[in-house]
Amino acid sequence: MAEPVALVALALDAAIGWPGALYRRIGHPVGLFARIIARCESKWNRPESPERRRLLAGILTVLLLIAIAGGGGWLIQCALLATLGPFGWIGVALAAFPALAQRSLFDHVRPVAQALAAGDLPAARRAVGMIVGRDTTALDEAGIARAAIESLAESFCDGVAAPLFWLLVAGLPGVWAYKAINTADSLIGHREERWRLFGWAAARTDDLLNLLPARIGGAVICLAGVGGWRTMWRDARLHASPNAGWTEAAMAGVLGLRLAGPIAYDGVMHDKSWIGDGSSQAGARDIRRALAVYVRACLLLWVMSGGVAWAL
């Protein structure tokens, strides 16, 4: 039996997450990636630069992030295994767990349900505004609930399933290289003119790294919710992302809801397709149902991680 690095990392994340006091004191490791990306963008993504140069600069930024995050992860992993001997795997688990977001995601979505249950729409809008990029000021109760559920489902992939996958596949270098690329995608992997060329490499690399984890994550949600398979297979392609639709469609099918649909960003309405064929009138109870499915899905990942360690 191999050391259960991933299982211990999952347990640590679920137990303590990334404490607020620690975040206020030293920030979070992804903050380093964000600063690197911002520095590269300010120096290399100038509007007057030729398009080819901006595209190549974006590729160079991605390679730099992989070198720093993956290379740094490899050096730390080697140092821990060399200095701690048979207990080195525990150090690796400690260094890996901040890349997971089980606890953080749960703790950000639950207040939305609590505010809706109390009938406090302004508080619910503020809470959901912390986890979504869409306009929230005009959202009604159903829109707030759907936004929270959609964020929970999509983030199950890039916050839990995908980093866990890359931790299992490539250890500390894999999980932190993934987090660096995922951070780049969230910051610069957009279609607006400013980011279209410079962020192209980040977006496409993130799509590639999420290809398998997204589909695994969708299947895990269906297993946890005992259903949703038909909706996942039918509607995953309706999402603008080649990967995010898998977990979102799975959650829509499990809950019997319609998710996505027309969404406003920066005052502009985007006519997105609906995912799922149930009711679009979601509420606090549906968020709680989604959180219950999410918890069971995370536990299934625990079982899978333990099984991988046992098999090896």
pLDDT tens-digit profile of 63-84?
999 999 999 999 999 999 999 9
Q: What b/e sequence results for 22-45 when a residue is b if at least 16 CB atoms lie within 10 Å of its CB, and e otherwise? A: eeeeeeebbeebbebbeebbeebb
Percent of the chain with pLDDT over 70: 97
Whole-prediction pTM = 0.94
* pLDDT of 138 over the 90 cut: no
- Residue 12's alpha-carbon distances to 8, 96, 291, 293, in angstroms, are 6, 10, 19, 20
Nearest-angstrom CA–CA distance, 120 and 124: 6
Nearest-angstrom CA–CA distance, 175 and 287: 29
- Residue 53's alpha-carbon distances to 19, 45, 50, 67, 200, in angstroms, are 41, 9, 5, 21, 12
Q: Among candidates 155, 100, 158, 157, which has minimal Cα distance to 132?
A: 155
Residues 238-265: tens digit of each pLDDT? 998 899 999 999 999 999 999 987 776 6
* pLDDT of 268 over the 80 cut: no
Q: Among candidates 219, 105, 227, which has minimal Cα distance to 160?
A: 105
Q: Where are the alpha helices (DSSP H) in 189-228?
A: 200-225
Count of CB atoms situated within 10 Å of the CB of 222:
25
pLDDT at 1: 47
pLDDT at 135: 79
Nearest-angstrom CA–CA distance, 290 and 83: 43
Among the ranges given (45-49, 178-182, 308-312), the one the predictor scored with the smallest mean pLDDT = 308-312
Count of CB atoms situated within 10 Å of the CB of 143:
21
The whole-chain average pLDDT of the chain stands at 93
